Chains A and B, each alone.
Chain A
Amino acid sequence: MRTIFDYQKSSGTGGILPKLDVPKCGTTDLLPRELIRRSEPRIPNLSEPEVVRHYTALSKLNYGVDDGFYPLGSCTMKYNPKVNEDVAGLPGFSSVHPATDPELAQGSLSVVYEMSRLLAGIAGMADVTLQPAAGAHGEVTGMFLIKRYFEARGETQRTRILLPDSAHGTNPASAATAGFSVTEIRSGADGLVDLNALSGELDDTVAGMMLTVPNTLGIFEENIVKITAMVHAAGGLCYFDGANLNAFLGHARPGDMGADVFHFNLHKTMSSPHGGGGPGSGPVAVSEVLVPFLPVPRVKLDGEHYVLDWEEPQSIGSMQSFYGNFGVFLKAYAYILTLGDEGLHEAGENAVLNANYLQERLKKTYKLPYDRLCKHEFVLTGKGVAEGISTLDIAKRLIDYGFHPPTIYFPLIVHEALMIEPTETESKETLDRFTEALEKIASEAREDPQLLHDAPHTAPTRRLDQTRAARYPIMTYPFGE
């Protein structure tokens, strides 16, 4: 791929910025020599058409939700409505500086406040902070809240976080960031939390349990009420990873299941786009006991005015520069207003129907280790399709059929996992075509395995050499080499 550093010519740019309209001074008049840069950064000067063609060409090497089916498990790659983009781009919202006097930013503050209320309602919990910038950031916020809560109660011996072996990798990493140690609870043969294993670990060193509901196998924890009650009885708090909220959106609320902390991934469930890996938005909902510890500033309604409240003595402090990813949760706000209760309910329902339909069709060709009613996603194994064929081969071959591959090799408790989440914004026709492609790939695997090993054949590049990238890391443009 050509980078901007590969362009030989350096035509004049210029003309974007205005001419200087105050008396000219120059760097040496205004700054001492030792502060002035001696060598120029090697940044090319391209003309506008060159820049536009370069990035347009790059965009065409990408595959997004607008290009086709994107069944990444646990990522909820649903359609990103266009009106949300337009609303977030309104200059009245986008141009407001975070240090603006609250009196002059009542529109934006109203969005922060009202969005918190709506999310608290969806979670069935007491209050919400919108500061976290992503799901993992929400997790770490939740872990900090739990830490502060036990500090305030003088129970600093509670240093352990329990989590099931099916948990997202971010969960243990977030717990560790807060200084907790992690204890894994094994899953039972049914893919659910083993209650005996859980009960064996519960004592007064446990600060809490992190759970993903439904779990990463796409299975609802049927004992969820029992599990949260057990953790609470042992004095711990319950953290719910909200990555899989689409599975019960409009049908159930984590607060009603016993959650003390619940993080949203608005860039999953609430349709704001992933942007190639961010920015996201990971608001955190909390139960009553954790409200005093929420990050500052809090946005509150004082009569008819929205105000910033910094006076929360027990707060954990701040998790992000200002009020969170406003431009992202604004899109999610537009989405919730569009759907209303009815639309949220329908979204959850159709997401689960699509997943169960696809699971039913695909289990005839690929082994389904946990064969039962699923929620918004399910996990197959690529093992046993044909000798010598890996899940990676199957995934890469899917690209040739015009689909984005599912999440692969996760969760870790299924070997050669293919984790598939269709979402509600896909049609039966697409699911049927996807099924046919995977069926065809299974026969190709038996008849012409090399075809799979060499895949993809039609993508912008052939399979990339990851080993070489790791062994000889080149992380900046090799100028003049």
Chain B
Amino acid sequence: MRYIPNTDPDRKAMLDAIGRSSMEELFSDIPQVVKDRFQPLGLLPKSEMEVRTELGSLAQKNDAAEATSFLGGGIYDHYIPSVVQHITARSEFYTAYTPYQPEIAQGTLTAMFEFQTLLCELTGMEIANSSMYDGATALAEAAMMAARVSGKKKIAVSHALFAHYRRVLNTYCWASGIEILEIPTIDGRCDLSGVPSGVGGVIVQSPNAFGVIEDLTGVKESIGDALLIVAVNPVSLAILTPPGELEADIVTGEGQPFGLSASFGGPLLGLFATRKAYLRQMPGRLVGQTVDAAGAIGYTMVAQTREQHIRRQKATSNICTNAQLCALTATVYMASLGGDGLRELAMLNLEKAHYLEQQLSKLPGCSLAYGAPFFNEFVLRVPVDPQQVRDSLREEGILTDDPAHLEVLGVTGALRFAVTERRSKEELDRTVDLVGGML
């Protein structure tokens, strides 16, 4: 096998050195009854060329790869600059382990420190961890943290949450005994006037599952001691008021838009930022600045006494592995675009989405479902069966979200469109023409 460097003579010499006569002897400690039950997979080894060919043809079976996509709902079709792939493909980054030996991991650690800073700049928060699995688990961790900090096992959750966020949140809250109360929406926005008292946290998503930007002004004052948790699309924060300025206690989000391919939904990048006061309560890996024995600035993991390998069952979270390479990807992406480029990106998304919405809304019987402002995603009411519109668009190589995802949220007769910088005016106009032809 080409990944094993030792030869038969090497193996013989090694067996001699340990006083064993055969390889089988090395497994004499496994009970015979277990070994007797062993069954192989019936899988023959394959050459590198065969594996490439086989998986290459499977990749080609994905007819979606060439389509014009308006799919969104947390995962967006953004352009990935060439620089990103070239840097993250450096094996010094991708073949390294968690930086437990900081003296030979300054590359990873410095990038993690940059990532934490970038995230704080965008969200307006004071500290951020260096990543979590995905946006959904980051939100679930935020709910558990709010319960821990407040001592109240009850949280209020916006009705307009992405379905996959809600599913994961439900699972974690069930398991950790946290009760979920739902906050209703009015005209696509959370009605935060009636948040029940006695909750440890209030979860709002903005832009929400309808694409609508929530107005969080004054919310923090109205929810008492409860922690305000805001799930964001980080791209929008280049132009939108950061949740930190609206007194959010925890900001979570999905970092995929920052240079990660959709990759059928994983790996993703969970974002988690909070206030400095919650440093000891927050989950996830943290990097801090320090100096070395010669006085030079360097970086190392900090506050590890919160983590599972030291605190075991009393840890703030069970998480060990996170999404480090995805965080590096996002860091290089943000560095490549720069502050100006990120703003340009957000503007392109905002303006193109509004252009499509305005054109579609001119079609007979079509209208924007909610009057509240949106970012790069919106819900359009259509006068015909939305499933039929979706199917017909699919025939033309245009992908839109399954209306069933909206039906779960109680919205019928509508379709959700997400528009990124990758969609040209030509594609937008063609889509409008096609939808117009179906009415």
Contacts and interface: CB of A to CB of B under 8 A. Distances in A.
Contacts of A465: 290-293
B321 A343 contact: no
Contacts of B102: 461, 464
Contacts of A78: 3
Contact of A405 (B43, B56, B101): B101
Contacts of B323: 133, 275, 278-279
A85 B347 CA distance: 34
Interface string A86-111: 11111111111111110111111011
B37 to A, nearest CB: 4
Given A97-B69, A135-B321, A172 B103 contact: no
Interface stretch (A195-203, A323-331, A381-389, A444-452): A323-331
Interface in B342-361: 342-345, 347-348, 350-352, 354-355
A320 B321 contact: no
Nearest to A5: B117
B26 A276 contact: no
Nearest to A44: B338
Interface residues of A, number: 206
A182 interface: yes
A152 interface: no
B365 interface: no
Interface in A279-326: 279-280, 282, 295-296, 316-326
Interface in B274-297: 279, 285-294, 296-297
Contact of A144 (B120, B175, B285): B175
Contacts of B116: 475-476
Interface residues of B, number: 198
* Candidate in B11, B111, B176, B354 with the most chain A CB atoms within 10 angstroms: B111
Given A110-B58, A320-B133, A399-B101, A340 B26 contact: no
9 contacts: A31-B350, A99-B401, A169-B309, A224-B34, A316-B175, A321-B268, A356-B18, A470-B288, A473-B279
A220 B98 contact: no
Contact of B64 (A17, A96, A323): A96
B124 to A, nearest CB: 9
Given A60-B92, A320-B133, A338-B45, A428 B317 contact: no
A64 B134 CA distance: 25
A137 interface: yes
Contacts of B69: 97
A132 to B, nearest CB: 9
Given A44-B338, A320-B168, A461-B298, A63 B96 contact: yes
B101 A395 contact: yes
B410 interface: no
Contacts of A173: 308, 311-313, 315, 317-318
Contacts of B434: none
A90 B103 CA distance: 35
Contacts of B302: 469-470, 473, 475
A244 interface: no
A51 B177 CA distance: 46
B373 to A, nearest CB: 5
B421 A136 contact: no
B31 A222 contact: yes
A425 B3 contact: yes
B118 A317 contact: no
A426 B217 CA distance: 59
A440 interface: no
Interface string A134-154: 111101100110010000000
Interface in A416-433: 424-428
A186 B285 CA distance: 30
A365 B312 CA distance: 32
Contact of B97 (A42, A75, A333, A463): A75
Contacts of B48: 83, 338
Given A14-B344, A35-B215, A97-B265, 18 more contacts: A13-B336, A25-B354, A30-B351, A32-B373, A35-B213, A55-B332, A87-B51, A93-B58, A93-B263, A107-B59, A278-B321, A320-B137, A396-B101, A396-B103, A404-B101, A425-B4, A462-B292, A473-B279
B193 interface: no
B265 A22 contact: no
B59 A475 contact: no
Given A173-B313, A404-B101, A280 B347 contact: no
Interface in A2-54: 3-5, 10, 12-14, 16-18, 20-25, 27, 30-32, 34-38, 40-46, 48, 51-52, 54
Ranked 4 nearest A-B pairs via Cβ: A322-B265, A92-B59, A98-B265, A275-B325
